Amino acid sequence: MKIISMINYRQFRLTVTSLMLVIIATFTASIPLTIFQTDKMPEVKAAFTTLPLMPVSHLYPPPVTTAKSVFIVDVNTGIVLYAKNPTEKLQPASLTKIMTAIVAMDYYNEDSVLNVTNGAQAEGSTADLRANDQLLANDMLYALLIPSGNDAAVALAENYPGGYYAFVAKMNQKARQLGLLNTHFTNVSGVEGPNHYTSAYDITEIALNALQRNIFKNIVATKKITLKSLKGHVYPLESTNILLGQPGILGVKTGWTPLAGECLVTYADKYDHPIISSVLGSDDRFGETEKLLDWVYTNYSWL
């Protein structure tokens, strides 16, 4: 669906008919209690051009999860489907790379030539990029998002005007532009640090922004691909997201560090009802995400 305008749910609610207000009131009464057990939560922006179908709960209890924080939203309406500590500040691990990708997409052209320098020395999850190699910016995004390449994250930042820390500053500026209250970055890859954090709500907003770009949507939906650099080096890449390939699972990003635990942001679309699920601090990000998605599509009907 082509996005023409961005309006939040509260603004939309003022324009619907009396009948729709009744439906919304019924839905609101059926939202799991956990949603209201948090501090004041910002509204999720919805993107649509025509009157969307509204999710209505059947009051089935949500699954029990080990995740410290969960946030699930209906993409078409911005209605919150489930929330557990959605504004708690937590380590995002490699979910950070969603914002890294946004800043890179904002600045680089797809065919911009990027050099690999210090990125080749990156530790942790990498795409095994070679020192002094050159890749197109579009290919560097594949290396960033599919195998969760820390080396690609550093390369994207080091080729930015002003270098690495200017890139990080831009990430924080973008977070402020999106109105995010519980996000701050100190690096581009998700390295643990006391001032490097986000929340399930905030990372959902970041993912929604990234998914407005077809480049990002195509990359995070890719399970395997082989890249060839401008110097002829070949890089076979495989996604860290083992849910890709299952019906309706379209991305987005994995993350893990010892302090962050298992993290996963998922874009799912079953029965033409797209949702975003964000799970932070889990002991089983893939299994719990599967349970949550099954619960959403069983518990809700779109009327």
Residue-wise pLDDT tens digits, 12-32: 333 333 334 334 434 443 334
148 carries an active-site annotation: yes
Q: 3-class SS at 159? A: coil
* Beta partners for residue 302, in sequence order: 55
Our answer to whether residue 229 is catalytic in this structure is: no
How confident is the model at residue 42, as a pLDDT?
A: 56
pLDDT at 52: 82
Residue 124 gets the label, from left (phi > 0), alpha (psi -120 to 50) or beta, of left
Q: What is the pLDDT of residues 100-116, one digit of tens each?
A: 999 999 999 999 999 99
pTM of the model: 0.85
Dihedral sign for Cα 114, 120, 124, 127, please.
positive
pLDDT at 10: 33
Marked catalytic residue, from 97, 170, 174, 253: 97
Pairwise CA distance, residues 278 & 266, whole Å: 6
Residue 30 annotated as catalytic: no
Closest to 87 in 3D by CA, of 198, 178, 10:
198
Given the residues 69, 94, 229, 278, the one annotated as active site: 94
Ranges of the chain with pLDDT below 70 = 1-50
Catalytic pick from 148, 189, 277, 278?
148
